């Protein structure tokens, strides 16, 4: 009976799509940057899987797997072709098998807002997909981007045909492809690229049909700025992200761009920003932490694109914040593997403390100090931490220093 039960549990774990969000004990690694396609990437990651697993990551977000006009993968064309600039289909599948063996889930980057055509159609645009899998015609492309479909249900991604998700045949084909990635190729998690580009109701439909174990959407728009810099109050910004999560049926998390925007100003000596008017964390993490994926940088904001980078001298304070706080923290490949062993080891230490103190996505936060040069908080029952060069330590003798670094310290009970 015992064996049967274990098998049953394993099957349950693979199909219970709500379990990961309910459990809230994820730590994600974004396992690439903007330049990774130049470096035989699937093979490179294959060698790092044991370290990724040992470091405590539960999921690794991989770059888009399909053939693409641009080597980074964000201009997909033949969705069923898994030979890309990152490596061959064979190498990808071998990497996914190894990740499964080490119990690190593989997250696929799902780029379905737009798709590059193969042949000219209506209006002389490349808006037909003849000669490849899913050979759509112009009706699969929104009228706003040169197709014969309906208007877009979201923002346009300019310069390429945007996919018309209102078409039943398009959704049927996308669901078939997502199920193939999930059930045949071996991805378990999804990240939805440019999620502002189409209605979140379709994300809900796609998650319901393909049943990833965990999903996260990219809803990135600008924070609120005034003449002097970033506004203190970012409630309207985080509300837009919350609205997307709601519209996606609460089945997906979303990247907490609000926390990123605030945290990268706070670390420069404006720690008062880390407490909102209600005394809570000021990002999505403060309102709906179980759906907030916190991060410092990604392949767009950092890396060689550097559209909105986290200040490089402060990344350890940044990680000391997101890895001790509620939400679902995500670590960027560059910081973890390219910025030296000291930073790698400090991040691993913080992940280990998070696990040992059982900090999870819904842990409580009590902000004790939020001044220009000092932030201090108690998270859950058994962890407290400080940031900044203001001197502070917790009162009471039952706190023990767990780790400390440049301008941060963490204690546990």
**Residues tagged active-site:** 193, 218
Distance CA 258, CA 328 (A): 14
Structure tokens at 189: 């998690």
238 in Cβ contact with 283 (< 8 Å): yes
Strand partners, 87: 84
DSSP-derived 3-state class of residue 332: strand
Residues shown for the chain: 413
DSSP string, 159-203: TSPBB-TTSHHHHHHHHHHHHHIIIII---EEEETTGGGS-HHHH
283 in Cβ contact with 239 (< 8 Å): no
- Which segments of 267-411 does DSSP mark as H helices, in order? 284-287, 315-322, 333, 341-356
DSSP string, 103-148: T-EEEEEE--SB---SB--GGG-S-B-TTSSS---GGGB-GGGTSS
Among left, alpha and beta (phi > 0; psi -120 to 50; other), residue 223 is beta
* Short-list 349, 357, 365, 351, CA closest to 403: 349
């Amino acid at each position: 009976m015992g064996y049967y039960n274990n098998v049953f549990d394993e099957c349950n774990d693979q199909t219970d799509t709500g379990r990961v969000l309910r459990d809230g004990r994820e730590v994600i690694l974004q396992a690439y940057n903007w330049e990774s396609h130049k470096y035989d990437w699937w093979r490179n990651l294959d060698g790092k899987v044991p370290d990724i697993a040992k470091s405590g990551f539960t999921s690794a977000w991989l770059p888009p797997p399909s053939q693409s006009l641009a080597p980074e993968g964000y201009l997909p064309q033949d969705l069923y072709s898994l030979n890309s600039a990152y490596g061959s289909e064979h190498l990808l599948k071998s990497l996914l098998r190894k990740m499964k063996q080490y119990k690190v889930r593989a997250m696929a980057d799902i780029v379905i807002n737009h798709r590059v055509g193969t042949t000219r159609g209506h209006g002389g645009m490349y808006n037909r997909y003849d000669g490849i899998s899913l050979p759509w015609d112009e009706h699969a492309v929104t009228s706003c981007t040169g197709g014969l479909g309906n208007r877009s249900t979201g923002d346009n991604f300019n310069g390429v045909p945007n996919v018309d998700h209102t078409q039943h045949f398009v959704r049927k084909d996308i669901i078939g492809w997502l199920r193939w990635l999930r059930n045949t190729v071996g991805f378990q998690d999804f990240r939805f690229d440019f999620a502002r580009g189409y209605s979140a109701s379709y994300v809900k439909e796609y998650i319901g049909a393909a049943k990833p174990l965990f999903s996260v959407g990219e809803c990135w728009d600008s924070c609120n700025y005034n003449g002097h810099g970033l506004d203190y109050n970012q409630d309207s910004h985080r509300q837009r992200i919350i609205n997307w999560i709601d519209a996606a049926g609460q089945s997906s998390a979303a990247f907490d761009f609000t926390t990123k925007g605030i945290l990268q100003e706070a670390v420069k000596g404006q720690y008062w920003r880390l407490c909102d008017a209600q005394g809570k964390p000021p990002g999505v993490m403060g309102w709906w932490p179980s759906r907030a994926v916190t991060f410092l940088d990604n392949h767009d904001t950092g890396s060689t694109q550097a559209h909105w980078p986290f200040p490089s001298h402060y990344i350890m304070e940044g990680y000391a914040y997101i890895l001790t706080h509620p939400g679902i923290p995500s670590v960027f490949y560059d910081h973890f593997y390219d910025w030296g062993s000291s930073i790698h080891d400090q991040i691993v230490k913080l992940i280990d403390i998070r696990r040992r103190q059982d900090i999870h996505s819904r842990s409580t936060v009590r902000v004790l100090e939020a001044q220009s040069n000092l932030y201090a908080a108690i998270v859950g029952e058994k962890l407290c931490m400080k940031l900044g060069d203001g001197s502070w330590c917790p009162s009471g003798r039952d706190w023990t220093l767990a780790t400390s670094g440049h301008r941060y310290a963490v204690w546990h009970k």
